[in-house]
Amino acid sequence: MNIAVFASGRGTNFAALLRAVKKGKIQASISLLICDNPKAQALARARRAGVKVVLVKREDFASRSDFEQKIIQHLKENDIGLIVLAGFMRVLGPDLVNGYKDKIINIHPALLPAFKGAHAIQDAFDYGAKITGVTVHFVDEKMDHGPIILQKSLELEEGDTLESLEAKIHKVEHKIYPQAVKLFIEGKLQLEGRKVRIIQ
């Protein structure tokens, strides 16, 4: 199966997925990086790894639909079977969500439904949460919504700073995102309404 990763920033989860593929833990090909930010570090990571890069800037298109149709064109040309969002800082619209229904997954640095949005780690830290974590979920048209595939919790310890919490979160992300992708590729995720059943 061919995977497309969507990223807007550093691409550390993209790198974790590349490592998992290289080690044979994920039996699939990361064929495409879709990026909307010309300054994203993910671009350099992809080029070093020999992954095809498509830079698609939203401001170059009159509407979100036009923007997404261009992305869909690239996905079809590369026979993409799974879209993995890895720090892609846009809410997907109906063209993509419906066109790739149940074939888009996202990772979020909190235990959804708590602390939705782009600043989840800081929001949990500022709130004084004792426990936070990471969620991998299928994507629907709502932000940080959709059936949950995997969740992993972690405790905020006395003396944790925002920076140390971010490092802990990223460590968990880099572990469970490849696990979730592996389950999808192996056909072990069964959607039952809003719930995901993992087939052993």
Q: Which residues are catalytic?
A: 108
Residue with structure tokens 């069964």? 190
Tokens of 149: 């595939």
Rounded Cα–Cα distance for residues 72 and 62 (Å): 16
Radius of gyration of the chain (CA): 16
Instruction: Pinpoint the alpha helices (H) of 39-81.
Output: 41-49, 64-77
Residue with structure tokens 């600043």? 119
Tokens of 94: 């109906």
Residue among 10, 3, 2, 8 at smallest CA distance from 174:
10
